[in-house]
Amino acid sequence: MKFMQYNLSGKIVEQYSCDFDQLKANPIGEKVRVTMDNGKICVGFWDTFLGQCKVETAEISQYDLDEKTSKLRSSNSIVTFVPTSRIAKLEAILHSNPRWGTGPTNKFEFPKPVKIDPELDPFKNWPIKITPSQNS
């Protein structure tokens, strides 16, 4: 199996080939694109924890989402179950879950950078600790 992990701008930050049970990364919650050995592609969010036990089936979920308006139609997820023995390629985007600030979408795409208005930054008035190395 080939594993590729991208940052939010689409740059590959890690890639390697291994058996599924030797996967070093744990893409839990990240947007993934899974290519099966028959060429079928599944896109969604990785919902399977990779702990110490052998994982036979991975869950990939999608939001019940209207892609045009980015509004949820319901609180239900659409889940696809994928046999891990059939995964030929697993691609993941770091920090791609909407809980981390990206827009809600079920598409495997790299979000546009978010620009924060400095006046609306909730941390702008927090105290800043100056370390000795910053004084020089």
The domain segmentation of the chain, as residue ranges, is 2-135
CATH 1.10.390.10 fits 2-135, yes or no: no
pLDDT given at position 123: 63
Sheet holding 2-6, edge to edge: 12-17, 2-6, 87-93, 31-36, 41-46, 57-66, 71-83
Strand, coil or helix: 22: helix
Find all residues with CB under 8 Å of 85, minimum gap 6, and list them: 20, 56
Tell me what pLDDT residue 88 has: 97
Residue 9 confidence (pLDDT): 87
- pLDDT, residue 18, reads 93
Query: What ranges make up the beta strands (E) of 7-134?
Result: 12-17, 31-36, 41-46, 57-66, 71-83, 87-93
**pTM surpassing 0.75?**
yes
pLDDT band at 34 (very low <50, low <70, confident <90, very high): very high
Q: Residue 86's pLDDT is what? A: 97
Answer yes or no: is pLDDT of 81 > 70: yes
Residue 63's DSSP bridge partners are 77
- Looking at residue 112, its pLDDT comes to 64
